[in-house]
C-alpha cells in the first residue's frame, strides 16, 4: 500500500476564512469539507518533529508570489489565525482529489506572529501571541483593526 501526505492551510479570523491552500494536488483546486482549497506549494517545518513542547511554533515556507505576499502580510497585520492540517491516505485509491477516508495525522492552530522573506520565498511563523513567561497579563499585539490607523505627523 502506497501512502501519501497532503497538507491543508486555512487562514481565518473568527468565522471568516480569508484563504484556503493545499499543497498536494498540483495546479488544481480541490473540494474538501465542503470548501474549495486552491493549490499553493508550501512546506511546514516542525509539525512532524515528534517533540511535545509548550509554546512551540511552526514555520511555513511559501513561494514569494504577489498573492501569497499580500495574504500573509495582511494576516500578520490583522493578527489572524492559521490552521495547518496534515493528512495521510492511500495513493493506490487515486490522487486526483482528497479521499473521504484520509486520516488526520497532525494539526496545528496558531496566530501568524512573524514573517520573513527573500526574493524567492516567504516564511511565516505560527505561534502564540501570549507571553510564555511572567506573572502579569500577557502583552497584546495591537493591530490596525484594534486601534485604527495610527496618526501620521
| Residue ranges of domains in the chain | 3-44+54-131
- The pLDDT tens digits of the residues spanning 28-84 come to 899 988 899 999 999 988 665 555 455 567 899 999 999 999 999 999 999 899 999
What cell does 67 get? Answer: 498573492
What pLDDT is recorded for position 146?
Answer: 66
- The pLDDT tens digits of the residues spanning 91-119 come to 877 777 787 778 898 889 989 999 998 89
CATH topology of domain 3-44+54-131: Pnp Oxidase; Chain A (2.30.110)
What pLDDT is recorded for position 75?
Answer: 93
What pLDDT is recorded for position 16?
Answer: 94
Higher-confidence position of 90 and 1: 90
pTM over 0.85: no
- 103-117: strand order across its sheet: 30-32, 35-39, 16-22, 3-13, 81-90, 103-117, 121-127, 58-63, 43-45
pLDDT of residue 134 exceeding 90, the answer is no
What pLDDT is recorded for position 74?
Answer: 94
pLDDT of residue 142 exceeding 80, the answer is no
Amino acid at each position: 500500500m502506497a501512502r501519501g501526505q497532503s497538507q491543508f492551510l486555512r487562514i481565518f479570523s473568527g468565522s471568516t476564512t480569508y484563504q484556503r491552500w493545499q499543497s498536494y494536488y498540483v495546479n488544481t483546486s480541490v473540494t474538501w469539507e465542503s470548501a474549495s482549497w486552491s493549490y499553493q506549494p508550501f512546506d511546514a517545518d516542525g509539525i512532524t518533529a515528534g517533540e511535545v513542547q509548550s509554546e512551540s511554533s511552526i514555520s511555513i515556507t511559501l513561494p514569494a508570489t504577489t498573492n501569497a505576499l499580500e495574504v500573509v502580510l495582511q494576516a500578520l497585520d490583522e493578527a489572524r489565525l492559521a490552521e495547518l492540517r496534515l493528512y495521510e491516505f492511500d495513493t493506490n485509491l487515486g490522487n486526483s482529489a482528497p479521499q473521504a477516508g484520509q486520516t488526520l495525522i497532525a494539526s496545528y492552530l496558531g496566530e501568524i506572529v512573524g514573517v520573513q522573506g527573500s526574493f524567492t520565498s516567504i516564511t511565516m511563523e505560527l505561534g502564540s501571541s501570549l507571553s510564555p513567561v511572567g506573572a502579569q497579563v500577557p502583552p497584546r499585539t495591537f493591530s490596525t483593526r484594534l486601534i485604527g490607523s495610527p496618526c501620521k505627523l
